[in-house]
Amino acid sequence: MRLSFLEPLYRQSGPFASVYADTSRDSAVADPDAAVELRRRHLRDALTAEGADQDSLAAAAGAVGSDEDIPGQHGQAVFTAHGRLALLDELPVPPAHDRTHFGSLPHTMPLAVQHAPAIPYVAVHVHYGGRHSTCAAGTVRFEAEAGVWPLTRVTPGHRLYEEIPVSDWLNAAAVLGRELEGHGRHINAETVVVAGDVWARGILVRRLPALLRERVVTVEGAGESSPGRALLEHRLDNLFGGRMAEHDRALLGAFLAQRARDGAAGEGLSATVSALQRGQAKAVFLNNHPESPLRLWAGPEPRQLALTAQELRSYGVQDVHRERADAVLARALVGTRAELVVVPEQRLRLCDGVGVLLRYAEAPSNA
């Protein structure tokens, strides 16, 4: 997963105020707006304790809770710099607890992790409640949506909707299949999730172009969809929970193969930092540890990171500061255009929670 969506943020200079907040308004709380206001005050107090300036406090407070139109459980990530809103993004899942950070770098790793596993997919629901025959009366209701999971929880994709006379369903299914193929190609969909009436969906699946048909997964149950939420949201949650995207699995496979050969892969914070310093990292693998105590030293540029201040100064970098390791790594990933792969710890436990796949293997020394 590339973190190009963070590039505009890193083109700005710090210090940055970073805020993660649960801004859900449909909870069991009697007055959700009052609950959001209480969170806003607590977050402002936390930033004040961390030394944030008044302009940054005002900008962050003004953005928190500005997503009243988004239904369901969700959160917000807010970043400000010099009293201005620098980046605002919606979180598909509310943070486990609200958090703040004020420092020279934005604390973006929790946001990046919420973009994972970034699975491109097409969801389809067909509904028909009559007799299973193309001679029958009535209509087949067709809904489809292409998106990237889990972001579509809070930013649904373009929705297709058609009502087709049952007598036309055979021909219409082929036409709709070609339309779905275009949307699937556009996002390089790896899965086509189809739900609804068994008879109607069977006709649709058989008429899908081969590219999509071989990627079909059928799921049972109704295709309920709340306004402003992903089509088949709960079915997708069950299907994609704990899963990695195909692209990420391929990168992880390459990492494991290289590590077994003692080749272009490394594990641990030291190896990862070294690769990012040289711009040699193709992908960084992360076990998500949001409360990790690990720290790194950083300079003004993305590739200026090190385990110690002395190491950075030995490279001629004088303006150095100590930061959260994940904040420093995130900036380096964006600055060197390396990919981030979030790896569930039960799948692979990494030393220090990180590993790196190199763009190329270094030639062995002849010394």
Q: Is 173's pLDDT higher than 50?
A: yes
- Cβ neighbourhood burial of 243 (10 Å; 0-12, 13-18, 19+): middle
> If you average pLDDT over residues 140-167, what whole number do you get?
93
**What confidence score (pLDDT) does residue 153 get?**
93
- Asked if 62 contacts 21 with a C-beta cutoff of 8 angstroms, the reply is no
> If you average pLDDT over residues 88-116, what whole number do you get?
95
- Spatial neighbors of 233 by CB under 8 A, at least 6 apart, are 152, 153, 225, 226
- Asked if 14 contacts 319 with a C-beta cutoff of 8 angstroms, the reply is no
Mean pLDDT for all residues in the chain: 91
> Of 272, 238, 251, 243, nearest to 351 (Cα)?
272
- Asked if 38 contacts 31 with a C-beta cutoff of 8 angstroms, the reply is no
- Spatial neighbors of 258 by CB under 8 A, at least 6 apart, are 264, 265, 357, 358, 361
Q: Is 184's pLDDT higher than 50?
A: yes
Q: Is 362's pLDDT higher than 80?
A: no
CA dist list (Å): 149 to 114, 186, 250: 10, 15, 18
- Write the pLDDT tens digit of every residue in 49-77: 999 999 999 999 999 988 888 888 899 99
Q: Is 226's pLDDT higher than 70?
A: yes
Tokens 């001629």 map to which residue?
Answer: 316
- % the chain with pLDDT above 90: 79
Q: Is 130's pLDDT higher than 90?
A: no
Q: How confident is the model at residue 367 (pLDDT cuts 50, 70, 90)?
A: very low
> If you average pLDDT over residues 30-55, what whole number do you get?
90
When mean pLDDT is compared across 2-11, 114-123, 133-142, 336-345, the lowest value belongs to 133-142
> Of 330, 95, 346, 337, nearest to 243 (Cα)?
346
Highest mean pLDDT among 124-138, 219-233, 303-317: 303-317
- Write the pLDDT tens digit of every residue in 346-358: 999 999 999 999 9
Q: State the amino acid at position 83 in one-letter form.
A: G
Q: Is 250's pLDDT higher than 60?
A: yes
> If you average pLDDT over residues 274-290, what whole number do you get?
95
CA dist list (Å): 13 to 63, 83, 171, 181, 201: 19, 12, 57, 43, 52
Q: Which residue has the higher pLDDT, 298 or 157?
A: 298
Number of H helices, E strands in the chain: 12, 16
Q: What is the DSSP letter of 291?
A: T
Q: What angle do CA 243, 3, 156 make, to 5 degrees?
A: 60
